[in-house]
Amino acid sequence: MSETQSLRAWLLTDTPTSRRHARLSAIYQGWLSLRSNTMAMVGLGILVMLVFIAAAAPIIAPHDPFVQDLGNRLAPLGTEGHIFGTDSLGRDILSRLIYGARITLYIVALVALIAPVVGLLVGTVSGYVGGWPDLILMRITDIFLAFPRLVLALAFVAALGAGIENAVLAISLTAWPPYARMARAETLTIRTSDYISAIKLQGAGPFRIITKHIWPLCISSLIVRVTLDMAGIILAAAGLGFLGLGAQPPSPEWGAMISEGRRFILDHWWVATMPGLAIFTVSLAFNLLGDGLRDVLDPKAGE
């Protein structure tokens, strides 16, 4: 008990004694304020569970998600051995949902790696450099913004061919402009601040200023925005899946599952509803977490 007490005190100190200590202490303080937000913790809990389910899918799943059993198709909820029922080809819906978590995570992770990074790069460079590079980059951003997201993604997928990777690419390409806009707006206020002037007076070049001084300040609000957008990304992926342009059958992607289920939606509602509920839960979890993260990370709301 006393050991955990002293560890806590060590982490909460106002007088850190080393670089590592200072960093750990800052992380711990952030964690504490996130923990005090119940809804964010619920969101985080759901996401941790999702990761766990995805990782342990072969162990947890009661059936093989691809094995068809035409004698037992469209079994209702609570059927022996099929809690969530079976779909039109007699595949176990629960198992498919569990394996689908992997695909969802894969899409989310890839988009989260591509879109914000591109947005951050374009936005900060554009905001910091100004002049004609700003003009060009922002007009390109405007062009991307002018198209409805799903329509643009559809066009990309149509050009590149259907498939998960192309769906991810298409979603990323349509997702970055808002991040670029946001990063640029933040850069514009940051670049006139005294601490940027101060580092300029030490002879720092634009590259160092952007990467070491502007990025750390943009990233936190970007992370918040990305978590809040995750719901939209999952839905866009599901939408592409639903239209048959994302993951291809028999892959158990949630959007594609809804698409399959829609033919029976009146008589066998659970086939489409179960994956719908899964999408809803995960989107909600990301939104809750994003709200909580905003309270922790947003430097403007702090103090």
Partner 1 sequence: MMDNLLDIENLWVRFPSRQGVFDAVRGVSFSLGRERLGIVGESGSGKSMTGRAILRLIRSPGIVEADYVNLHGEDLLAKSEKDMRAVRGQKISMVMQDPKFSLNPVTTIGDQIIEAYRLHNNASKSEAYAKSIEMLNAVSIRDPERVMRAYPHEMSGGMGQRIMIAMMLIPNPEILIADEPTSALDVSVQRQVLDIMDKLVRERGMGLIFISHDLNLVADFCDRVLIMYAGRIVEVCEADKLHEAKHPYTRGLLNSLPRLDAPRDRLEVLKRDPDWATAPSVSGRT
Partner 2 sequence: MTMLDIKNLNVWFGTARDRVDAVKDAGFSVAKGESFGLVGESGSGKSTILRAITGLAPTWSGDITVNGDRIDQKRPKSFFKTVQMVFQDPYASLHPRHSVDQVLGETLHLHGFKDIDKRVVTLLDDVGLGQKFRFRYPHQLSGGQRQRVAIARALAPEPTLLLLDEPTSALDVSVQAEILNLLTDLRAEHGLTYLMVSHDLSVVGHMCDRLAVMRGGEIVEVMTTDTLRANQAQHPYSQSLLEASI
24 versus 204: smaller Cβ distance to partner 1: 24
> According to the binding rule CB under 8 A, does residue 26 interact with partner 1?
no
32 binds, among partner 1, partner 2, none (CB under 5 to 8 A by kind): partner 1
Please give the structure tokens belonging to residue 118.
């591109």
Residue 12 interface partner, choices partner 1, partner 2, none, CB cut-off 5-8 Å depending on type:
partner 1
CA angle 164, 92, 45 (to 5 degrees): 70
Q: Which of 193, 211, 248, 281 binds partner 2 (CB under 8 A)?
A: 193
By rule CB under 8 A, what count of residues binds partner 2?
28
Contact 153, 170 (CB under 8 A): yes
CB neighbour list of residue 212: distance below 8 Å, 6 or more residues apart = none
Residue among 16 and 90 whose Cβ is closer to partner 1: 16
Q: Per CB under 8 A, does 301 bind partner 1?
A: no
* Residue 244 to residue 6: CA distance in whole angstroms: 57
Q: Which of these ranges, 30-38, 128-136, 235-243, 248-256, lies near partner 1 under the rule CB under 8 A?
A: 30-38
Choose among partner 2, partner 1, none what residue 71 binds, the Cβ cut-off being 5 to 8 Å by kind.
none
Q: Which C-beta is closer to partner 2: that of 5 or that of 15?
A: 15
Q: Is 281 in the site for partner 2 (CB under 8 A)?
A: no
In the bound state with partner 2, the residue whose beta carbon lies nearer, of 154 and 209, is 209
Residues 35-54 that bind partner 1 (CB under 8 A): 36
| Candidate residues 216, 249, 262, 281; the one interacting with partner 2 per rule CB under 8 A | 216
Which CB sits closer to partner 1, 3 or 14?
14
List the single partner that 111 binds among partner 1, partner 2, none, CB under 5 to 8 Å by kind. none
* Span of 47-55, 56-64, 198-206, 266-274 interacting with partner 2 by CB under 8 A: 198-206
By CB under 8 A, tell whether 12 contacts partner 1: yes
Which residue's CB is nearer to partner 1, number 36 or number 193?
36
Does position 16 bind partner 2 by CB under 8 A?
A: yes
Q: Are 285 and 49 in contact (CB under 8 A)?
A: no
Strand partners, 177: none
The footprint of partner 1 (CB under 8 A) covers 12, 32-33, 36
The footprint of partner 2 (CB under 8 A) covers 14-19, 21-22, 26, 193-195, 197-204, 208, 212-213, 216-217, 299, 302-303
